[in-house]
Structure 1
Amino acid sequence: MRTAPARPVPAVHPGDRPVRRPLAGVVTMAGSGLSNQVGAAIGALAFPVLGPVGVVAVRQYVAAVVLLAVGRPRMREFTWRQWWPVLLLALVFGTMNLSLYTAVDRIGLGLAVTLEFLGPLSIALAAARRRVDACCAVLAAAGVVTLMRPQPSADYLGMGLGLLAAVCWASYILLNRTVGRRIPGAQGSATAAGISALMFLPVGLLIAVHRPPTVEALACAAAAGVLSSAVPYLADLLTLRHVPAQTFGLFMSINPVLAAAVGWVVLGQRLGPLEWAAIGAVVAANAVSIATRRG
């Protein structure tokens, strides 16, 4: 659910030249995307006990532990110029996951991830000045209109939360860029994850008191944190050593399709032909925009 969808993408510097091993790269990217969406689906299994807020809280704790162990931030050395984007990133990080998981609970994994995916797609198209990108924007807009078309069973609150997740993901990308320029390595992302986990600590305690969790629910929520945060983050690090960043971005565009497929198999969330066509339109818009780019 990037998810979630919802994890920091390792930075790629202009001087970095990946070692070309296409097969290894494709296998790793496929594993990363599948892990991300399966983690989100497993987390959704804990909704009846913990609710989306409880699942997100546990996921934030797991993500914080993993990223703090990897990033090892030296927070005492941070200046205010470094702190303010980290604090904003922590707020966006929590809001993004909370809005996405709540949307998954209301409208299903496939539709929620597709709407969230509009965040990075919007950033990519906003920076472009080509006719093909304008056509891609129209194609993506048509997909969104189809997904949000009026019908008796439409959950507009769930759709709105999916769009909020998209706004948060776009903000997350821009803030991560700022943090990456001001703080070396993964220290900024790790610190933001830690602060976000602290923000969810009171929520987690309240849920534990009023809705005592079962071992199975906690295991599902923890698995969501590992599969949707830790595994994809490490997989991305390996992937970017074997494939160009452009290829990586192109493959990432299939995440809405993976989300819809996993939601169908794991959660029994079936989609109609129009929903599949709309998801395909959003994916195609991103794929064409990236594939036709130069440099």
Structure 2
Amino acid sequence: MIETNAAIGSGGLPRRKAGGVATLVASSLSNQLGAASGSLAFPVIGPLGVVAVRQLVAAAVLLPIVRPRLREFSWRQWWPVLLLAVVFGTMNLCLYASIQRIGLGLAVTLEFLGPLAVALLSSRRKSSVVCAVAAGAGVVAITQPDASMDYAGIGLGLVAACSWAFYILLNRTVGQRIQGIQGTAAATGVSATLYLPVAVVILASQPLDGFAILCAVSAGILASVLPYVADLIALRRVPAQLFGVLMSINPVFAAIIGALALHQELNVGQWAGIALIVAANAGAMLLRDGQPKRRHGSRI
């Protein structure tokens, strides 16, 4: 009987892990579908309006579920939460503004340089230099510098990457000082509060467009709420290192969805650049040695 139970238990582990992997893939797909949905509202309310609605939707869902004890927070806990809130808004706004200028696939790929940089800087292996070189080559292949290139769009993507890197570092501090996910929920609420006047002004300054609002709300659900819940579930089933590797599929999904749904065609060189950055990110996660394995973090 003991052997039978052991066999069942050991058989359940692969199924549990497979379920976690499937959840992460679904999370990545949902994230990029949300970004694509939000981009459909750009002509009406712009990236700023989409991000404002997205932050409000995320806060409206997350705060009632988590119910952070805000009155019990000390200043030592509040200051990283406030910085995290600013990073939330900056990261999403720059990403969406970049998507508007250079397309979903390229913008998301450039944003992934943020977690890649954190992973490379925390690695103790010399072979991580290979990942850095591959990522650099990927950036050159994506941008293909010439006079007609949209350098503003590239710059916004890189600012989003820096913001994601800061998010990872700040999230570690918040996680150490505040129990559970109360800090993340509080930061989401602060970010939504900052964007509330923006949403009011944008929506009040023009006739309401039901389709644009629906697309922006869909972005909040698909790109914030569902991925966050899915990531929490997946992290209970797969190692954090595997989580980081699987996150690398996001730029691939972004490029495919951008091409199929938004008709944002990429040339061979740009696809090669995406592949190089994805490979560099996956390699950096696998090469991390002697460091606590932490998640990249959902982009609320």
Report if TM-score (shorter chain) is over 0.5.
yes
1:225 maps onto 2:228 in alignment: no
Determine the structure 2 residue equivalent to 1:10.
none
Determine the structure 1 residue equivalent to 2:182.
187
CA deviation vs aligned residue, 1:68-113 (integer Å, no higher than 9, x gap):
1232101000100001011111111101100000000000000000
Determine the structure 2 residue equivalent to 1:205.
200
- Residue 134 of structure 1 and its aligned partner are, at CA, apart by 0.6
1:288 maps onto 2:286 in alignment: no
Deviates further, 150-159 or 279-288: 150-159
Deviates further, 282-291 or 88-97: 282-291
- Separation in 2, partners of 1:28, 1:227: 14
Determine the structure 2 residue equivalent to 1:271.
266
Q: Is the 8 A contact 1:110 1:257 kept in 2?
A: yes
Determine the structure 2 residue equivalent to 1:253.
248
- Residue 236 of structure 1 and its aligned partner are, at CA, apart by 0.9
Determine the structure 2 residue equivalent to 1:168.
163
Q: Which amino acid aligns with 2:227?
A: P
Aligned alpha-carbon RMSD (Å): 1.4
TM-score (norm 1): 0.91
- Residue 211 of structure 1 and its aligned partner are, at CA, apart by 2.5
- Residue 200 of structure 1 and its aligned partner are, at CA, apart by 0.8
TM-score (norm 2): 0.90
Determine the structure 1 residue equivalent to 2:17.
22
- Separation in 2, partners of 1:92, 1:22: 32
1:32 maps onto 2:1 in alignment: no
- Separation in 2, partners of 1:292, 1:170: 18
Determine the structure 2 residue equivalent to 1:93.
88
- Separation in 2, partners of 1:275, 1:202: 38
Determine the structure 1 residue equivalent to 2:7.
none
Q: Is the 8 A contact 1:50 1:213 kept in 2?
A: no
CA deviation vs aligned residue, 1:9-65 (integer Å, no higher than 9, x gap):
xxxxxxxxx955232122111110000000100110011111110000000000111
Q: What runs of 5+ residues in structure 1 fail to find an aligned partner?
A: 1-17
- Residue 176 of structure 1 and its aligned partner are, at CA, apart by 0.7
Q: Which amino acid aligns with 1:194?
A: G
* 2:229 pairs with one of 215, 231, 234: 234
Q: Which amino acid aligns with 1:290?
A: M
- Residue 294 of structure 1 and its aligned partner are, at CA, apart by 5.1
Determine the structure 1 residue equivalent to 2:97.
102
* 1:68 pairs with one of 47, 63, 72: 63
- Separation in 1, partners of 2:207, 2:91: 25
- Separation in 1, partners of 2:131, 2:20: 26
1:78 maps onto 2:73 in alignment: yes
Give the secondary structure class of the aligned counterpart of 2:127: helix
Q: What runs of 5+ residues in structure 2 fail to find an aligned partner?
A: 1-11, 291-300
**Structure 1 consecutive aligned stretches of length 4 or more whose deviation exceeds 3 Å:** 292-295
Determine the structure 1 residue equivalent to 2:106.
111
- Separation in 1, partners of 2:285, 2:82: 31
Larger radius of gyration: 2
Describe how 1:37-52 pairs up with structure 2 within 5 A. Answer: 37-52=32-47
